[in-house]
Amino acid sequence: MANFFLNLYEDRLFQIVVSSIVACTVSMAAIPVIIKISRLKNLMAEPGGRSSHEYKTPTLGGVAIFASTLVSYFLWENPDETQLLHLSVSAIVMLFFLGVKDDILILSPRKKMLVQIAASALVVTLGDLRLDNFYGILGINEIPYFISLVITVFIFIALINAINLIDGIDGLAGGIGMIAGGMFGLWFYLNEQYAMACMAASLSGSLVGFLRYNFSKTSKIFMGDTGSLIVGFMLTMFAVRFVQLNVEYRFDPNASFSAPILAIVLLIVPIFDTLRVFIIRLKNKKSPFVGDRNHLHHILIDAGLSHFQASAILWSFTLVSSILFLAISNSLENNSSLYLLIALFAIYMYVSHLLKNRNDKRADNIATDKNNEQLLPKRAKILVES
């Protein structure tokens, strides 16, 4: 019996599953405390502007995500842990303090960008976490060292902020992070990257606990910049490492030659949505960095869907796209997969455009009806007087 429990304790799948469960439990236990402190100290997000919420809401859910992820990850020895993961924890701590300060005091975009660059450069340079091969996409294979550094840091910054941009309704950023983290974690486990799998499972578990309160009506909390920065950084780290390992394992039957495309598809919602709103803002001769309600999740909410319904649609889009590309990854060349991805983006743009136009027409009709209702008493008064 003692040997059974010892073998179970040392089993890597058991450790990964337990890490996920512990992360979920710690997150759910920590969030009520964070909510209480936030209300006492008035650390709340005010409704209004682009917000889709009507009440003041605590914004420090990222504190629970940070704590529960690291607590559950460090439960085990993780003998295959590398310098990269040590550096990643250092970068996560940097982003944690940046996010907490921004959620409480509001920092300038310049300061936020500098810390994001520093955290990303830490793992890219010292951890050698680089996108150094394009797998023949657009005829590009190996990438020179310095160029790969610049490209990878740019990818980190772009994806961290893309996750931040989709954090506009309940459940969306947390759900996407949970799905992508879980799928990356499964691949890491199947390829014996147990430390990475444990960290991915810990992140997914912490987000499950967070979503329990993010959707709550009485104990709602947002992940804030603290959460979106950490989730964005970790998902980018998993994505780049996924691509990097597939290059190293290129003669392994479990490796995927379509790794860059698959990594994009797992993060398809933040990537597509960010590209779309930037294109629209530039088309309208506005700064791409000035916020508006052109995000697809805002369009879905304005169409009358609930936060859960809108998030579920975009979660489903992620899952269906991932399954589709996994199914065809071995039968299509990377360039063909890229063209298919571009076609999917065109459909995404078109559907978003149709929904936006329908919302605008409905809003115009409502405004017209209200004006007519206001004019009717005035017209009736004129008729009586005449």
The partner residues of 45 in beta bridges, in order of sequence, read 57
Whose tokens are 């147990």? That residue is 194
CB neighbours of residue 12 within 10 Å: 17
Reading the block at residue 339, the tokens are 């063209």
User: Which pLDDT score is estimated for 277?
Assistant: 92
Residue type, 339: Y
Residue 146 has a pLDDT of 93
Q: Are 83 and 228 in contact (CB under 8 A)?
A: no
pLDDT tens digit at each of 386 positions of the chain: 667 666 777 788 999 999 999 999 999 999 999 999 999 988 887 776 556 666 789 999 999 999 999 999 999 988 888 899 999 999 999 999 999 999 998 888 899 999 999 999 999 999 999 988 877 777 777 889 999 999 999 999 999 999 999 998 999 999 999 999 999 999 999 888 999 999 999 999 999 999 999 999 889 999 999 999 999 999 999 999 998 888 765 545 555 556 788 899 999 999 999 999 999 988 888 877 777 788 999 999 999 999 999 999 999 999 999 998 888 877 777 788 888 999 999 999 999 999 999 988 888 777 676 666 665 565 555 545 55
Tokens of 317: 């889009």
- pLDDT for the residue numbered 366: 75
125 membership: H or E segment, kind and range: none
Distance CA 154, CA 210 (A): 28
Give this prediction's pTM: 0.90
Write b or e for each residue in 132-165: b if 16 or more Cβ atoms lie within 10 A of its Cβ, otherwise e.
Answer: bbbbebeeeeebeeeebbebbbebbbebbbbbbb
For the record, the structure tokens of 51 come out as 């917000």
The confidence score (pLDDT) of residue 307 equals 93
- pLDDT value at position 386? 52
Fill in the DSSP letter of residue 133. B
